[in-house]
Chain A
Amino acid sequence: MRKRRDGLGKLTLVLIAAILLTLLPLPKLLDPIWPYWVALVLVYWSLESTGGISLGFAFLAGLVLDVLTGSLMGMHALSLVVMIYLVQRFRARLRFFPPWQQALSVLALLVNDRIILLWITALLGEPVPTWEYWLAPLAGMAIWPWLFLLLDRVRIASRQQGA
């Protein structure tokens, strides 16, 4: 019980870091390739931590992100819930993929997410985005193995502290 709560605390810290990264003002060049940090962190935590994370947690994280980034309320919540659902569904398989295959699955998840977002923004009357819109999932895939190693370290440190 105690151990789980410690993990949750660590997750919250990592999530806050991911949200800050998302909001960081960027030079124009970097802007389109900035990965979906919150999604990457939640996917990692959902795959690797013992309890995983619940859909409700993903939903709440999405709402916080919606408020902070000024997007339509519920947009990121929907996107993250769908993503975490897919991860939970295929968790057994994803966990034992070699890193490159896992990175490809992450790419598939992120592209799927972009398609959902595209559908929502199209309903809002937004113009179809340029090809740059699809760069962020690629960047997410490229960063996945490194993020995985980093978060592994953070999470295992938390477990040792809890014990």
Chain B
Amino acid sequence: MFGHEGARTARLMIYLLLALALMAMDQRGHYVPRLRSALGTALEPVFHVVEWPANALRAVRTYTTSYRTMLEENRSLNEEILVRDGAAQQLETLRQENRRLRALLEATAGREYEFRFAEMVQVNLDPFSHQVIIDRGGRDGVFVGQAVIDGAGIMGQVEEVHLHMSGVRLISDPDHALPVQLTRTGLRTVAFGTGETSRLALPNVPLQADVRSGDLLVTSGLGDRFPAGFPVAEVESVRRDPGGMFAEVEARPLAALDRGREVLLVLPAGPADRAEETPDATAEPEGQP
């Protein structure tokens, strides 16, 4: 009896050690992420099955939405398009102006990005995973490290690419660091996730730095992961403890990390951007005289 019990405890210990080793390796990024990515691809069909009832429910709801509601929604959407079109007109002028100014300063050409639409797969993941799954994968050209945004700001980056789906690590992950810049002062710092979807921490802001609540944080583009200039968060509180070295700054992410549905994948600015830049450079001297 005792021997049997001892053997069981020994087995328990072995499995515990194995689990701990796996966790440590996953955390550090040794081998295990690749393994889980492969396993995830194999298990991808499970997500399709899970999504099925939710999709069916949504289809039923769409089907039963009254004509009047649809009409109203349509009208409000049309109005919104008009408003955005108005804003976009101004944007075009600004873009040209920006290009001229950059040429005058002989600065590098600004980058323009393209976006690709993706939808979140509705599954209930571990809340501690800080991950969402989107319905585009390697077949659609998604790659590891690609930035993911929603209508309001940066959401995260692609971490695992499967065939038709990818896992996106959210910026709220305590392990996630995002190089940011304050638009008002140009101060560069790093925004860390806190584990809460409504809070980012900026632990490296000097005590005397000019930071106020309400300041906008955008990506700085340092680190070459995220493209520069995308809104990230709004500074919510600044606490200056005279005894400390740094101000305690907290910010609220602008993207809907916990309740979004549609997202955009940012495509890297490629040669298409440069092609657009060349005619402009030749046009410049033309306008000069």
Query: Does B228 sit at the interface, judged by CB under 8 A?
Result: no
Cβ distance A90 to chain B, nearest Cβ, rounded Å: 12
* Contact, CB under 8 Å: A59 / B18: yes
Give the A-B pair count, Cβ closer than 8 A. 115
Is A22 in contact with chain B by the CB < 8 A criterion? yes
Chain A 55-96 interface 0/1 with B at a Cβ cutoff of 8 Å (1 = within)? 110010011101111111111011001100100110000000
Q: How far is the CB of A37 from chain B (nearest CB, A)?
A: 11
Q: Is there an interface contact between A56 and B15, defined as CB atoms closer than 8 Å?
A: yes
A74-B20, A78-B23 known; A67-B36 Cβ under 8 A: yes
Inter-subunit contact A125/B195 (CB<8 Å): yes
Q: Once the chains bind, are A72 and B124 in contact (CB under 8 Å)?
A: no
Cβ of A34 within 8 Å of any chain B Cβ, yes or no, is yes
Residue of A nearest to B46 (CB): A68
Q: Collect the chain A residues with CB atoms within 8 Å of residue B25's CB.
A: 73
Task: Compute how far the CA of A71 lies from the CA of B123 in the bound complex, rounded to whole angstroms.
Answer: 13
Cα-based distance from A7 to B43 in the complex (angstroms): 23
Residues from chain A with a CB closer than 8 A to the CB of B18 are 59, 74, 77
Q: Which residues of B are found within 8 Å of A82, using beta-carbon distances?
A: 12, 16
B27 close to A (CB within 8 Å): yes
B194 touches A127 (CB 8 A): yes
Mark B94-131 against chain A: 1 for CB-CB distance below 8 A, else 0: 00000000000000000000000000001111101101
Cα–Cα distance between A145 and B35 once the two chains are bound (Å): 38
Instruction: Please give the number of chain A residues whose Cβ is less than 8 angstroms from any Cβ of chain B in the complex.
Output: 38
Chain B residues 2 to 18 lying within 8 A of chain A, measured CB to CB, are: 8, 11-12, 15-16, 18
Contacts A20-B46, A23-B46, A68-B46 hold; do A124 and B174 have CB atoms under 8 A apart?
yes
Chain A window 132-144, contacts with chain B (Cβ cutoff 8 Å), 1 for yes, 0 for no: 0000000000000
Q: Which residue of A lies closest to B159 (CB)?
A: A70
| With A23-B50, A67-B36, A124-B174: A73-B22 Cβ-Cβ less than 8 Å | yes
Contact status of A72 and B26, CB under 8 A, knowing A24-B124, A25-B124: yes
The answer to the question of A120 belonging to the interface, with a C-beta cut-off of 8 Å to chain B, is yes
Docked CA distance A19–B27 (Å): 24
Interface of B is mostly: helix
Contacting pair B39 A78 (CB below 8 A): no
A55: B residues at CB distance < 8 A: 8, 11-12, 15
- Interchain nearest-CB distance for A9 vs B (Å): 18
Nearest CB of chain B from residue A136's CB, rounded to whole Å: 11
Q: How large is the interface on B (under 10, 10 to 19, 20 to 34, 35 or more residues)?
A: 35 or more
Residue of B nearest to A86 (CB): B12
B243 within 8 A of A: no
What are the residues of chain A within 8 A of B131 when measuring CB–CB? 70
Q: Given A70-B129, A74-B19, A125-B195, A31–B124 Cβ distance below 8 Å?
A: yes
B53 on the A face (CB < 8 A): yes
Contact A126 to B123, CB < 8 A, known contacts A20-B49, A68-B46: no
Whether A70 pairs with B12 at a CB distance below 8 angstroms is no
Report Cα–Cα, A69/B39, bound state, in Å. 12
- What's the Cα separation between A126 and B172 when bound, in Å? 10
A114 to B12, CA, bound (A): 19
Within the assembled complex, what's the spacing in Å between the Cα atoms of A57 and B129?
24
A62 CB → nearest B CB, Å: 8
Give the CA-CA distance A130 to B123 in the complex, in Å: 22
Query: Given the complex of chains A and B, what is the CA–CA distance between A85 and B14 in angstroms?
Result: 12
Residue of A nearest to B35 (CB): A73
26 A-B residue pairs with Cβ-Cβ distance under 8 Å, sorted by A, are A20-B49, A23-B47, A23-B50, A24-B54, A25-B50, A34-B124, A55-B11, A59-B19, A62-B19, A67-B36, A68-B47, A70-B133, A71-B126, A72-B26, A72-B27, A73-B23, A75-B19, A75-B23, A77-B15, A77-B19, A78-B20, A81-B15, A85-B8, A125-B174, A126-B174, A127-B194
Q: 19 additional contacts, CB 8 Å, given A25-B54, A55-B12, A81-B19?
A: A25-B122, A55-B15, A64-B43, A70-B131, A71-B125, A71-B129, A72-B27, A72-B128, A73-B22, A74-B19, A75-B126, A77-B19, A78-B15, A78-B16, A78-B19, A81-B16, A124-B27, A125-B174, A127-B194
Ranked 3 nearest A-B pairs via Cβ = A74-B22, A70-B129, A78-B19
